[in-house]
Structure 1
């Protein structure tokens, strides 16, 4: 953990990762999931998890967060998203403020800024004649991630801040409800992704005519989870409960069964006419960003929001199927939260805690031990991200780096409530 506190060592690792990455390597600024706000939050959890050195980590966390907030005076954060925007910084500040009221004024200021950014969004900006870019509504950069923060308990916020947060949350909920029930002029679902919005050309091979994204990070399950969290938090936007039910039904309708249980593909391709083609698709990898684990978390949130024990049982069985696959097929190639073992550990801990699943409780030790096999003191930051086969990167971030691995391990080894998982829309 001390290596993550060494700026020179971290910078060397970042330089190496930027050089070796197959895709653009994102790090820096106020980013919660891949930047200094995330590091500050990780240091705060280090103080909670390691009481013998709590003073050191508390001071370091404060210094890092204060530097992040100061940097926004010169370079304002101009977008609201969770990964690199105002919502991520607000979530970090809310976590600090939960233990220390001295952070409440800064949190109120950031919440006010976030509410203003939401108010400035044009109505219906997530809809388009020919589909939408998933980063307009997703968990990482879009409205779902922002709503997840706004729907959280407003610990440490003043009365004005609470009112601003509620107004902003209500507008986002209404926007996502409209997106979930809408159709394009050509009759396609409003949340479908047109090829012109693809982040990589490789998407065109699998989805030449557009597709519906099924990842918790970037797709329909993220919308489901965000709306469910809003409903559980007391949001009473018209048609909210109905929309949560309808999206959950849709997500279940595009699943399929394999020898271990329910599973899902990465996305549902559309044919030239715009009809969905769900048959014969390969399963997505078992991860937070895509695949059954993240989707099961979204379904669990929906079940709890709706008070639906039958849907809850489906969510639990879907996650237990993930664990049965792990038992049968072996290891997870990457260590990180986004698409690796750390994410699965955190989600398994959540299912064990919230549902009492015997399978989740029994599997948690094996998953944690598997995560530890990825950790190596000989590595610059102790662990690496498998970006793609043959490409290993040294990243300090929460989403794809060592911060996230540390947070995952503390989630199962220390009496520390992992409030940070709200950034992932899993709790």
Structure 2
């Protein structure tokens, strides 16, 4: 077991710096069909995310991975020129590449002009995009955090002042209206976010959890992500009354869906099964950034902060910490931002300020989360981490959202007083 986080970061960064090793891993994963996604251009599963992680490692370890980080960033830009983005999403499209450039430009002013230009290009394209097609949430992607309007709002809300431009507020307002209209057009929040079973991917979480249609309560593709993005954008840019009205509506609905613990903290199921007029909570709960209990708690925290409700905010911080402890009690070895320990470590950072969670309890949980990551690092693996692919096959995933780059960036982000910009995409904290 590796006991020193700096040593662990050096191992992960050294492996991720090798673009040839990444190409080989992608080729092997494709040949074995183990379910690894690699786009090359973007933040979630491309060179942009690896670049961001290597920049963070340079700042945290004192070991210079700057040249390799820039090589990955150039690869992402070159690939996006050869095969232009069709998505403007945060994790699968142009907004993610812009965010990686912005993150680096804060400490390297040489990149600032390029980061500003690319940010403005993305904002202009966002402003020119037509709204998602009518017909409701359907498969969710036009609206969600990974690909859609919610992620684009988080991108704008988190953008540093040094790169943001005069059109950001107007474009954010338009995106807020898109999400508010989605809610306003439905008679209930359940109706607004029901995912049509016809859109389920075989073997997807939706299909596994439900024999009917499904309402995802999580952050990546569900209700919590929409609410988080709206609250974050409203805090930074202000919002029309219809937006805050719909946020109150979602708040009340999420509280109705919660399952109280004896301690008073709240848990949520992964989602709701919808069978015609009958709605049931899906069985079991889960602790992860992408789905389950943690997302609704963080979204409700940001709504409470927006509305100035400190009592509710304090309760949500307690629920987030309770979810962290529930994760710690599970045997999972998943280290990813999306599904695993890295994501929970980022959410855990939300409760580090204020008096809700005693400092000794917070520090103990922080140590346990980091220890979980340290115990699972495999020095014999190509990128230091082994994930579970399809059918349980070992998966060597270098990516930001699902693999080693995200785990590296999370460990590196702990060493600075100021949280990285990218944390805000997961926690909804606006860059005010």
TM-score, length of structure 2 as denominator length: 0.88
- Alignment map for 1:24-63 (pairs within 5 Å): 25-51=36-62, 53=63, 56-63=64-71
CA contact (8 A) 2:153 2:233 kept: yes
Q: Does 1:103 align with 2:88?
A: no
User: Partner of 1:319 in structure 2?
Assistant: 320
Taking only aligned residues, the RMSD between alpha carbons, in angstroms, comes to 2.5
CA contact (8 A) 1:386 1:393 kept: yes
- 1 CA distance for matches of 2:202 and 2:68? 38
Give SS of 1:407's match.
helix
CA contact (8 A) 1:296 1:315 kept: yes
Structure 1's 145 and 126: CA in aligned 2 closer, same or farther, altered over 3 A? farther
CA contact (8 A) 1:126 1:132 kept: no
- 1 CA distance for matches of 2:267 and 2:190? 24
CA contact (8 A) 2:42 2:92 kept: yes
User: Partner of 2:154 in structure 1?
Assistant: 148
Give SS of 2:362's match.
helix
- 2 CA distance for matches of 1:87 and 1:76? 13
Q: Does 1:350 align with 2:340?
A: no
Q: Does 1:137 align with 2:137?
A: no
User: Partner of 1:213 in structure 2?
Assistant: 216
Which of 266, 271, 277 is matched with 2:275 structurally? 271
The one of the two structures with greater contact order (alpha-carbon pairs below 8 A, sep at least 6) is 2
- 1 CA distance for matches of 2:30 and 2:268? 32
- Alignment map for 1:11-410 (pairs within 5 Å): 11-23=23-35, 25-51=36-62, 53=63, 56-123=64-131, 125=132, 127-128=134-135, 131-157=137-163, 162-183=165-186, 189-200=191-202, 203-204=206-207, 206-258=209-261, 261-273=265-277, 275-278=278-281, 281-326=282-327, 329-353=329-353, 357-358=357-358, 359-387=361-389, 390-410=392-412
How many angstroms does 1:238 deviate by?
3.4
CA contact (8 A) 1:147 1:173 kept: yes
CA contact (8 A) 2:318 2:357 kept: no
Give SS of 1:138's match.
coil
- 2 CA distance for matches of 1:121 and 1:155? 24
Which stretch has the larger CA shift, 65-74 or 218-227?
65-74
Give SS of 1:134's match.
coil
Q: Deviations over 1:362-388 (max 9, x none)?
A: 311111111111111111111122346
Which stretch has the larger CA shift, 230-239 or 372-381?
230-239
- 2 CA distance for matches of 1:259 and 1:16? 48
Give SS of 2:266's match.
strand
- 2 CA distance for matches of 1:3 and 1:320? 33
- 2 CA distance for matches of 1:355 and 1:218? 31
Structure 1's 156 and 356: CA in aligned 2 closer, same or farther, altered over 3 A? same
Which stretch has the larger CA shift, 260-269 or 383-392?
383-392
* Unaligned 5+ runs, structure 2: 1-12
Q: Deviations over 1:167-187 (max 9, x none)?
A: 211110111111122217x99
CA contact (8 A) 1:107 1:156 kept: no
Q: Deviations over 1:338-394 (max 9, x none)?
A: 111111112112322466622333311111111111111111111122346723311
- 2 CA distance for matches of 1:187 and 1:18? 39
Q: Deviations over 1:126-162 (max 9, x none)?
A: 5406x422111111111111110112244223xxx61
Which stretch has the larger CA shift, 409-418 or 282-291?
409-418
Give the total of aligned pairs: 413
- 1 CA distance for matches of 2:82 and 2:379? 38
- 1 CA distance for matches of 2:202 and 2:94? 26
CA contact (8 A) 2:270 2:293 kept: no
Q: Deviations over 1:202-225 (max 9, x none)?
A: 634643442211111110000010
TM-score, length of structure 1 as denominator length: 0.89
- 1 CA distance for matches of 2:352 and 2:133? 35
CA contact (8 A) 2:285 2:293 kept: yes
- 2 CA distance for matches of 1:277 and 1:91? 38
CA contact (8 A) 2:217 2:291 kept: yes
Which stretch has the larger CA shift, 187-196 or 147-156?
187-196
Give SS of 1:190's match.
helix
Structure 1's 30 and 253: CA in aligned 2 closer, same or farther, altered over 3 A? same
Give SS of 1:269's match.
strand
Give SS of 1:276's match.
strand
* Unaligned 5+ runs, structure 1: none
